[in-house]
Amino acid sequence: MPLQPPLAGIKVLDLTKLAPGPFCTMILGDLGADVIRVEEPGPPTGRRAEQAGKAGTEGPGASFASSPFNALNRNKRSIGLNLKSGPGREVFLRMVQRADVLVQEYRPGVAERLGIGYEQMAIRNPRMIYCAITGYGQDGPYRNLVGHDLNYIATAGVLSILGRPGQLPTIPHNLIADYAAGGMQGAIGILAALMARNRTGGGQYVDISMMDGSVALLAQTFSSFFANGRLPKPGETPLDGAIPNYNVYETKDGKIITIGAIEPWFFANLCRALGCEDFIEHEYNSAKRAEIHEFFTRTFRTRTRDEWFEILSKTDICVGKMNTLDEVESDPQVRARKMIVELDGPDGLKVKQVGISVKLSETPGSIRSLAPKLGQHTNEIMRDLGYSDAQIEKWRQEGAIK
């Protein structure tokens, strides 16, 4: 009989909407937690409507949230609750009493005004882990500033080291603050708090700042800066394009090959493979870098990306193909690691999503369900809470639930 996933039995209330929160709870859901999305019933109004776009078909908050293709909301159930109504609040508080974790990403102070702040919820359930994911955290002079990924990584110093010399910084999508510094750090904090609860018996507040997380990602970079006082500039350090042996090159077919031959033995292997052994002794000679880079650039344009990968990957050289998204699925390593999976969707639809990156040998995670429609599990959840079908239908007619 297969063992249960590691978070089986852990109940999570998910009040989040945008990238960091849903990614955090996706991780928990993939590892077996019972994640319940608490969503506002009815069509979006006000700013929700602007975010969703016309008829829910445009904008970042469109109906894609419930699309089976949306990996962020997989392994979750959905209940539609109007938290501003008496019945909706009653149901929510009953859910809180049975929950292990609550995750929200309101601006500081908003949850308290709604009556669902940490202190208010801890009275109901002192064992619950309460995680708030915000841009700048719950205190400090920036706590009330609005922002997005770009603003947080700029404040943290991350943006200052991204790009090429003489150019404006490179904007790295919203991968760093939203996903790595926000959602992933949130999941780590929750898991740590759950472990602590095993010893103390009590819950606690998990304050996740996307700016904090972005600063933390620079741990090694700051360590070097504090040690030598040298301010790194974009494109002028070994790890961001300053040296020819840690760089990207265009190939004959217009694609990109990546070279990471920093160590002397890897650099020597690269030079032998490219027929430029004379460069081996000049790896650290800055006066030769332009010449080496020009030779590499010219040489890599003589074959296709895949031809170069086939040659160099067999000679103990740090080399990688730059796959575009449409190529990732067919990469043999991605296939072997099951990082793109195909699932059965509604009405015979085949749905592809990213796989689970955390590989556990004895209690692996799994994708058990696709993103739910708003209120898809309201009846099921409320029956589990002890409400009758008649009560459920009455409150649905009143608009308190969906």
Asked if 297 contacts 254 with a C-beta cutoff of 8 angstroms, the reply is no
Exposure letters 158-186 (e unless 16+ CB within 10 A, then b): bbebbbeeeeebeeeebebbbbbbbbbbb
Chain mean position to CA 323:
20
First to last CA, the chain: 37
Asked if 261 contacts 313 with a C-beta cutoff of 8 angstroms, the reply is no
Give the Cα separation of 159 and 138 in Å (integer).
Answer: 23
Integer angstrom CA distances of residue 255 from 166, 195, 252, 302: 24, 46, 7, 12
List active site positions: 148, 178
DSSP structure string for 11-27? EEEE---STHHHHHHHH
Chain mean position to CA 174:
9
Contacts with 201 (C-beta within 8 Å, 6 or more apart), sequence order: 127
Give the Cα separation of 151 and 169 in Å (integer).
Answer: 13
Contacts with 94 (C-beta within 8 Å, 6 or more apart), sequence order: 385, 386
CA 304, 306, 311, 312 torsion-angle sign: positive
Asked if 182 contacts 133 with a C-beta cutoff of 8 angstroms, the reply is yes
Give the Cα separation of 402 and 395 in Å (integer).
Answer: 8
